[in-house]
Amino acid sequence: MSVLAVLEQRGGQWHRMSFETLAAAQQMAEELGTTASAAVLGHGVDALAKELAAKRLDRVYALEHELLKEYTPDAFTLALAEHIDRSKPALVLFPHTYQVRDFLPKLATRLDRIAVSDVVAHRVEGGTLTLVRQLFQGKVNVDVCFSGAAPHFASLQAGAYRADRVVAGSAAVEAVAPALSPSGIRTRPGEPFRESQRAVDLSAAELIVSVGRGIKEAGNIPLIENLAKALGAELAASRPICDAGWLPMERQVGSSGQTVAPKLYMAVGISGAIQHLVGMKGARTVVAINKDADAPIFEIADYGIVGDLFQVVPALIDALKK
C-alpha cells in the first residue's frame, strides 16, 4: 500500500515535471506513513531507472518494451493497468502533462476509478488525503477526497510541487516486461515536428507586454502595440488572441506556446488561466491590468490596476512618455 509516481520521459530525457511528481510522492508517502516508489515507461530506460535508484524510494520499476518507445494511449494504459494490478499501490501520481491528460482518464476508467486531475496542493489530516484543485479557470478552489477503494489516481499541476525537494537515497530497480502486442494498439503516432523556425524568441525578451481576451477585437490590438513601443517591450498574447488570428501563434505565451522569464511581464486583459500562467510564472515582476478584481492573474501579480484597459492603457502610455 504505497505511493507510486509514474514519471514521464521521451527519448531518454526526463519531462521537466517528472521530478516535481517524484517530490510530491515522497512527501505524501511520508505524511501518510508509507513508502514511495517510481515507475518509468519506455524502450531503453535503464539509465533513467538507475538515476531513480539514487532517490529515497522503496522501489523503481522500469517498464520496458519496444511498443512503449513511442507513446500511444493503448500501450501505456495496458502496461500501467497490468503493473498497478500486480504491484497494488494505494495512490498513483502523475505529472499533469499533455501526455498524461491523453491516457490517465482511460487508465482510471479501465480500473473503474476517477482520477483527480490537475491538483495544485494537498493535505493529510488523520491519515486522510485531501487534494485541492481549481474550478472555473482558477477562480474557485475545491477540496476533493477519495471515497472508494484503492488504487487512487491524481495528476499534479506544473509548478505545484518543487523538483528540488526530491530526497536522495537508494532503491532497488525492478525490470518489468509488460505483455503488449501490436494488435492491441490502435493509434499510429507520427514523429514530432515543429511548425517552422520561430521568428520571435520571446524567451530572451527583458520586457514583455502581453494581451488577452479583454482587448475584445482585432481592431484594438494597435493600442497594445503602442504600449509595447512606449515600454520598449516585446508584444505577446494569451492563447485565445492567437487562436482568433489577431496575433501570430509565435507570440503566444503559455503551456502550448512559449515559456518566458522577463524582468517585466505586463498582462493586459488577461484573466490568468493556468495554461497561461505556467508560461510566465518565472517573470521577475508581474503587472496585471484587468477590469475583474477577482481575476486569477492578480494572485501572481506584484502590481495591478483594476480598471478598464481602454482607459488605463492610454494613460499608461502618457505616463511612460513623461
Choices 30-38, 48-56, 215-223, 287-295; region in contact with another protein by CB under 8 A: 287-295
Sign of the dihedral defined by the CA atoms of residues 304, 308, 311, 317, in that order: positive
Asked whether the beta carbons of 208 and 95 are under 8 A apart, the reply is: no
Among 162, 165, 216, 263, binds another protein (CB under 8 A): 263
Asked whether the beta carbons of 73 and 106 are under 8 A apart, the reply is: yes
Question: Does 138 sit near another protein (CB under 8 A)?
Answer: yes
Sequence-ordered list of residues with C-beta below 8 angstroms from that of 150, at least 6 positions apart, any chain: 1, 88, 89, 90, 91
Among 164, 181, 188, 199, binds another protein (CB under 8 A): 188
Asked whether the beta carbons of 267 and 286 are under 8 A apart, the reply is: yes
- Grid coordinates 500501467 are at which residue? 80
Cβ count within 10 A of residue 183: 6
Among 116, 171, 209, 268, binds another protein (CB under 8 A): 116
Question: Does 300 sit near another protein (CB under 8 A)?
Answer: yes
Q: Which amino acid belongs to residue 44? A: G
Which cell numbers hold the place of 113? 476509478
Question: Does 165 sit near another protein (CB under 8 A)?
Answer: no
Question: Does 318 sit near another protein (CB under 8 A)?
Answer: yes
Cβ count within 10 A of residue 149: 9
Choices 44-52, 127-135, 159-167, 218-226; region in contact with another protein by CB under 8 A: 127-135
Residue 167 CA, chain-centre distance (Å), reads: 22
Choices 20-28, 52-60, 106-114, 163-171; region in contact with another protein by CB under 8 A: 106-114
Taking residues 34 to 53 in sequence order and writing x for each that binds another protein by CB under 8 A, - otherwise, the string is --------------------
Choices 28-36, 39-47, 167-175, 184-192; region in contact with another protein by CB under 8 A: 184-192
Question: Does 30 sit near another protein (CB under 8 A)?
Answer: no
Question: Does 82 sit near another protein (CB under 8 A)?
Answer: no
Cβ distance to another protein smaller for residue 86 or 322: 322
Tell me how far apart the alpha carbons of residues 13 and 24 are, in angstroms, rounded to a whole number.
20
Tell me how far apart the alpha carbons of residues 275 and 259 are, in angstroms, rounded to a whole number.
11
Among 126, 194, 199, 217, binds another protein (CB under 8 A): 194
Among 34, 137, 220, 226, binds another protein (CB under 8 A): 137
Cβ distance to another protein smaller for residue 145 or 167: 145
Among 88, 162, 170, 303, binds another protein (CB under 8 A): 303
- Helix (H) or strand (E) run with residue 134 in it: strand 128-135
Asked whether the beta carbons of 240 and 256 are under 8 A apart, the reply is: no
Question: Does 224 sit near another protein (CB under 8 A)?
Answer: no
Among 86, 168, 193, 219, binds another protein (CB under 8 A): 193
Tell me how far apart the alpha carbons of residues 31 and 37 are, in angstroms, rounded to a whole number.
15
